[in-house]
A and B are shown apart, each in its own frame.
Chain A
Amino acid sequence: MLATFKIGGVHPPENKLSAKEGIKVLPVPEQVIIPLSQHIGAPATPVVGKGETVKIGQLIAKAEGFVSANVHSSVSGKVVAVDNYIDASGFSKPSITIQVEGKEWEEDIIISSRLECNITYTKDEILKMIADAGIVGMGGATFPTKVKLSPPPGSKAEVLIINGVECEPYLTSDHRVMLEKAEEVIVGVQILMKVLGVNQAIIGIENNKKDAIEKLQAITEKKIGIIVMPLKVKYPQGGEKQLIKAAVGKSVPSGGLPIAVGAVVQNVGTALAVYEAVMKKKPLIERVVTITGKSVKNPGNYLCRIGTPISKLIEAAGGMPDDATKVIGGGPMMGRAMTNIEAPITKGTSGILIMSGKEGIRNEIKTCIRCSKCVSACPMGLEPYLLRTLSENGMLEECEKEKIMDCIECGSCSYTCPACLPLLDYIRLGKGKTGAMIRSRKK
């Protein structure tokens, strides 16, 4: 029997429409908008001004503080604005707009696609290169990778877990990266192992990606310490805590970080970015993005420059379907509905999903019949029906007691609810307020 996590979980239809589509390069647009905050933490500070010319891979904004990430130009051209721009969430965020001219690369970057696998750098050199390249978690959480690779004093990583689960329906970007950039990903894994000083890495992949499992198993056969582990298909296995449970059987304690059980989890896309940063000196300026949806003409996977307007990606896939009702950044379970398709692709954009017609519209809400299906579905062992009521009534102390802060917002409760109650909406609201209450208590 294949390993998986123990509590809860759901099985949404996979709908991996673009699984067989090879990665294509999306043409460089005329203009890119590069947000300064593509990561969790403080926005980066711009180091270029309006009118300056920049090269591909040039640093345009510097990390501000410990939890932050550098931002680089993904094109060569002229900075036309350092200003606020409405991003996909509908909020105005500081961004740098660059008009594309020519294609001049920063000198240090090695453009050839030759595989480099001789890791000669020390741990500290590698950490600095990862930080300089502005790498963040590419699974969508966008936590600066350098921070994740620096365990707090007193804790020691024992195992590196690589997240190739891609449990979100529709998304296939990690799948294609594992298939087409397998060698590079494995070198990236070896680099990460060196940084963490661990002898063991487990690559967790759900069993619906058999070709990627076979490919990586073939490559890692002779590599000591790297195991490719097929996992039973179950959402939300890509959640950090669920993946750790599935891969090594350990439970991260409530409120704790993976390092508490000696684990560090990195996405396969991040491993690829680390390879490119260390072996090719290439900062994080492009990523693979899935464009998909049932009425999208040509669902596919594209290598996109960071800052490319999402509308360009939609055009490449055959244009916006006439009956589109919702555009989602990410997958259907955890992705965000977009307010603006001119918003740019960022470091955390794993896919663009277009929903059509009724698909994009929520079902009518009925009353709770206390069927307890949400309790059975919750992968954190919480009681969504109860948290919803507590949150709705502003009972924040009780919310805290019932572990609302443990919610990973996977959406399994709302997905399961026969009454179509927006359970997660209420829980998210309560979580925000409870978090604020806890923070104010500490002051």
Chain B
Amino acid sequence: MNTLIISPSPHIHGGDSISKNMYGVLIALIPAFICAVIFFGLGAILVTLTSVVACLIFEYLIQKFLLKQTPTIWDGSAIITGVLLAFNVPSNLPLWIIVVGALVAIGIGKMSYGGLGCNVFNPALVGRVFLLISFPVQMTTWQLPEAFALLPDANTGATPLALLKEAFTSGRPVSELAINYKDLFLGNNAGSLGEISVLAMLLGFAYMLIRKIISWHIPIAIFATIFVFGGILHLIDPTHYITPVFHLMTGGVMLGAIFMATDYVTSPMSHKGMIIFGIGIGVLTVVIRIFGAYPEGMSFAILIMNAFVPLINRYFKPQRF
């Protein structure tokens, strides 16, 4: 007979693993990637591929030579950072810029804190905001969508949010903006390559909920807050403030709420805390969009709320028995 193993209970494990969750998130991002390829063609593929490869290489090099750890690049987390970074930039971004973004995301956003599980801020957003501030022109030159064209014409244009900002600052009534909700829903508009389609985002959300990769609390809290806050402003002055549905369907709200704010490492632990976190992101996003200098505020809102997570964890405990 064999020697018996002694260990404390429990003696079985549910079979969940870090990589299962990470690859689950990647599967949930597939619809968005398909949309990006449909509307932006080859550029979307190149930017995403470059970003992922760069993230993997930087993580490997840093783990192996700086931190002297056994590299764990295949746990899926670096791939997610790469994909999300790419999804947050224009599809016509020069590839060397995305490589710089990947270095900042992995090097500063993740590894400088000690790697997976230790970072305070969402690494992909750290990379994205760094690029936005360092390369404002390239980061806001948007490819116009052209469905099913592998190499779309190099036409550039403004995103719906940029049009809104322009109308708002020049004092024209926002109610005159032509909004095509069908295009917003399907993704036929300018924007960061992974954020254009509400439909693709919701498909990914549903998949992650079914697989129990994330819970509903953060995204729903963000959506509800933006809807209510944006709605109140809209009711007060419809000529000045656009409908809340427009806020929900444009920019990075869907991508941010579903895939970035729900990042395990940088979001709160209790359901109560998640809702507070979501409300904070929602309020900040609307405030930045309407009163700030940038047309879009999702990235900043998430990063700011990331900083509050330790505090939220301290004061919003789960419901005790």
Chain A residues with CB under 8 Å of chain B are 7, 10, 12, 90, 169, 241, 245, 251-252, 254, 320, 322-328, 330, 332-339, 341, 353, 355, 359-363, 366-373, 375-376, 378-383, 385-386, 403, 406, 409, 411, 414-420, 422, 424-425, 428
Which residues 86-118 of B have a CB within 8 angstroms of A?
Answer: 115-117
Q: List 21 A-B contacts (CB under 8 A).
A: A12-B12, A90-B6, A320-B1, A324-B2, A326-B7, A326-B11, A335-B11, A337-B4, A353-B11, A362-B7, A371-B264, A372-B267, A379-B321, A382-B318, A382-B320, A383-B269, A383-B318, A406-B320, A414-B10, A424-B8, A424-B10
Residues of B within 8 A of A425 (CB): 8
Q: Does B317 contact A (CB under 8 A)?
A: yes
Cβ-defined contact, A12 with B269, below 8 A: no
10 A-B pairs closest in CB distance: A411-B10, A381-B320, A371-B264, A372-B269, A418-B16, A332-B12, A380-B321, A332-B11, A337-B6, A367-B117
Given contact pairs A337-B7, A371-B21, A383-B318, A323 touches B12 in the complex (Cβ within 8 A): no
- Contacts A380-B320, A411-B10 known; list 5 others, CB within 8 Å: A245-B321, A335-B9, A337-B11, A415-B12, A419-B18
Digitize B13-49: 1 where CB-to-A-CB distance is under 8 Å, 0 elsewhere.
1101110110000000000000000000000000000
Judge whether B243 is part of the interface by a CB distance below 8 angstroms.
Answer: no
Are A414 and B321 in contact, CB atoms less than 8 angstroms apart? no
Interface: B161 (CB within 8 A): no
CB atoms of A325 and B9 under 8 A apart: no
B318 contact set on A, CB distance < 8 A: 7, 375, 378, 381-383
Least distance between B35 CB and chain A CB atoms (Å): 27
Chain B interfacial positions (CB closer than 8 Å to A): 1-2, 4-14, 16-18, 20-21, 75, 77, 115-117, 215, 264-265, 267-271, 313, 317-321
Tell me which of B20, B264, B321 contacts A7 (CB under 8 A).
Answer: B321
Interface centre among A245, A341, A370, A417 (most CB of B within 10 A): A370
CB-CB under 8 A from B10, the residues of chain A are 332-334, 411, 414-415, 424
> Distance (Å) between the CB of B11 and the closest chain A CB?
4
Contact B4 A324 (CB under 8 A): yes
* Complex: A382 Cα to B319 Cα, angstroms: 8
The 8 Å CB contact of A360, one of B11, B16, B116, is: B11
Chain B residues near A339 (CB, 8 Å)? 4, 6
Pair count A-B, CB < 8 A: 149
With a cutoff of 8 Å between Cβ atoms, the chain A residues found around residue B5 in the complex are 325-326, 337, 360-361
| Closest residue on chain A to residue B10 by CB atoms | A411
Chain B residues closer than 8 Å to A359, beta-carbon distance: 12
- CB–CB A254/B13 < 8 A: no
Interface SS of chain A: loop
User: A336 contacts B9, CB within 8 Å?
Assistant: yes
A369 B265 Cβ-Cβ under 8 A = yes
A326 nearest in chain B by CB position: B5
CA of A415 to CA of B16, assembled, Å? 9
8 Å CB contact of A333 from B1, B9, B271 = B9
Whether the Cβ atoms of B2 and A325 lie closer than 8 Å is yes
Residues of chain A within 8 A of B116, CB atoms compared: 367, 369
Closest Cβ of chain A to B117, distance in Å, is 5
Are A372 and B270 closer than 8 Å at their CB atoms? Answer: yes
Are the CB atoms of A420 and B2 closer together than 8 Å? no
Instruction: Using known A-B contacts A325-B4, A327-B4, determine if residue A373 contacts B16 with beta carbons closer than 8 Å.
Output: yes
Roughly how many angstroms separate A415 CA and B14 CA in the complex, as a whole number?
5
In the bound complex, how far is the Cα of B319 from the Cα of A245, in angstroms?
15
| Nearest CB in chain B: distance from A421 CB, A | 11
A328→B12 CA distance, assembly (Å): 11
Min Cβ gap A81→B in Å is 25
Of all chain B residues, the one with the shortest Cβ separation from A372 is B269
Return A261 CB to nearest CB of chain B, in Å: 12
What residue in chain B is nearest A15 (Cβ atoms)?
Answer: B12
Which of B12, B117, B317 sits near A369, CB closer than 8 Å? Answer: B117
Chain B residue with the shortest CB-CB distance to A377:
B14
Who on chain B is nearest to A328 by CB?
A: B11
Whether A254 and B11, one on each chain, are in contact in the complex, defined by CB atoms closer than 8 angstroms, is no
Residue of B nearest to A5 (CB): B321
Provide the bound-state CA to CA distance between A328 and B321, in Å: 29
* Given A335-B11, A380-B321, A383-B318, CB of A416 within 8 Å of CB of B16: yes
Report the separation of the CA atoms of residues A355 and B215 in the bound assembly, to the nearest whole angstrom. 33
Contacts of A422 in B (CB 8 A): 8
Known contacts A324-B1, A339-B4; decide if A418 and B17 are in contact (CB<8 Å): yes
Q: Taking the nearest CB of chain A, how far is it from the CB of B8, in angstroms?
A: 5
Verify A169–B12 contact, CB threshold 8 A. Answer: yes
* Nearest residue, chain A, Cβ from B20: A418
Residue of A nearest to B214 (CB): A371
Task: Write out the residue numbers on chain B whose beta carbons fall within 8 Å of the beta carbon of A252.
Answer: 321
Q: A241-B321, A254-B321, A381-B319 are in contact. Are A369 and B11 (CB under 8 A)?
A: no
Least CB separation from B17: chain A residue: A418
Nearest opposing residue in chain B for A402, CB measure: B317
Residues from chain B with Cβ under 8 Å of A337 in the complex: 4-9, 11
Distance, CA A359 to CA B264, complexed state (A):
29
Q: Measured between alpha carbons, how far is A361 from B16 in the docked complex, in Å? A: 16
Chain A nearest Cβ from B213, distance in angstroms: 9
User: Would you call A417 and B16 a contact (CB within 8 A)?
Assistant: yes
| Bound complex: CA A428 to CA B4 (Å) | 22
Q: Is the CB of B14 within 8 A of A12?
A: yes
Tell me how far the C-beta of A271 lies from the nearest C-beta in chain B, rounded to whole angstroms.
26
- Please measure, in the bound complex, the distance between the C-alpha atom of A360 and the C-alpha atom of B115, giving whole angstroms: 31
Q: Nearest Cβ in chain A — how far from B183, in angstroms? A: 36
Q: Which residues of A contact B271 (CB under 8 A)?
A: 376
